[in-house]
Amino acid sequence: MHRTSATLTDGRHIHYYDEQPGRTRADVRHAPVPTPVPSSSLRRDPTTREWILMAPHRRGRSAAGPHCPLCTDAPPEAAEVPGGAYDVAVFDNRFPALGGPHPTGPADGSGLLASAPAPGRCEVISYSSDHATPLARLPLSRVRTVVDAWADRTRELNRVDGVEQVVCFENRGAQVGASLDHPHGQIYAYPWVPDRFRRMQETARQERARGEGCVFCRVLEAEEHEGSRVVARSARWTAFVPFAARWPFEVHLYARRHVPDLSALQEEERDDLCDIYRSVLRRFETVADRPLPYMAVWVQAPARHDRELAHLRAQVFSDHWDSGSVKRMAAGELGAGAFVSETDPERAAEALRRAPVTA
């Protein structure tokens, strides 16, 4: 993997990840203008003490139009990735949810109605200049470049002052919020550890304090031993439908070695990951009557504290059973936080095991 970094005309950064050295690019500094000024801030819910990210400017973000901004044939005023064909590109989001220093109320996070600045980074990762080929259908060499880019950005963003948690994720399909059809994902560097990740870390801390060891290693061991929910397994990774699955189709992909984040993976683990992760995504394409929209997120160690408690894993899930049947969140789930699962994890795992991963 060969990285080339540049600064676009509007000041944003772009990083090209190429599989071969020596690629030259013309007009790499061009970018569409104007770039909006982020107006993000954090506000804390005084009843739950959760931080809520306020980003009203995001309503104006790029959506599907006559020209795809991630394609090489986009006109200069629309192109987000200038310079011709590319393998993988990562660039600062024009409409970042993070980055705005505009608090309302006490800016130190104190008081009942507390707010704070929302520093951090929001990056877009385009998996290829090919508009028509999703990550599930890219060759393994390109999937490896994507993995290397995730790992490199995780390492670099973890070093940025004020960053507490780096999250690589993807929304695939307009039904789950993707605003562009071009295969891509995002990388967020949060200035706090989001609440769900914080609860996971706290559970890990409590389990270790009781002498139980790593709760994630124990979950992996239990799922492998029980076996009925295992979807795929390789020498270094295991994919399974979780015992308490929430979504119609949901797969957790665990590193079999206790490792904190993507940047800590060894070469063999990265190679192995490419094959099994692509196979999981392909199963989401073939398990139903048409490809399911999905969301995928990598759960990694926090940037600065308790990194030894974390265990690297991905979560891939869809709110669809098929093209016409969707799991909708009801008032009790959204209002009370009491999730009602309408799936059978063992049957979902069997369907995913049987789903074709070739062709």
Residues involved in catalysis:
184
Residue 9 tokens read as 């005309």
Query: Token pair for residue 122?
Result: 């929001």
Query: How many whole angstroms separate alpha carbon 69 and alpha carbon 73?
Result: 9
Strand 121-126 vs strand 320-322: parallel, antiparallel, or unpaired? unpaired
Taking the C-alpha atoms of residue 176 and residue 294, their distance in angstroms, rounded to an integer, is: 7
In the chain, the amino acid numbered 125 is: I
> Which two tokens mark 148?
């290397």
Q: 212-219 long-range CB contacts below 8 Å, 24 or more apart?
A: 214/258, 214/309, 214/311, 216/254, 216/258, 216/310, 216/311, 216/313, 217/258, 217/311, 219/254
Phi, psi of 238 (to 5 degrees): -135, 130
Q: If you count them, how many residues does the chain have?
A: 359
Distances (CA, A) of 200 to 42, 203, 205, 211, 309: 22, 5, 9, 17, 9
Token match 């936080």: residue? 337
Distance in angstroms between the alpha carbons of the first and the last residue of the chain: 27
Rounded Cα–Cα distance for residues 290 and 278 (Å): 17
Number of Cβ atoms within 10 Å of the Cβ of 179:
13
Name the helix (H) or strand (E) containing 342. Answer: none
SS (H, E, C) 88-102: EEEEECCCCCCCECC
Cβ atoms of 105 and 111 closer than 8 Å: yes
Alpha-carbon distances of 359 from 55, 144, 197, 282, 283, rounded to whole Å:
41, 20, 36, 10, 11
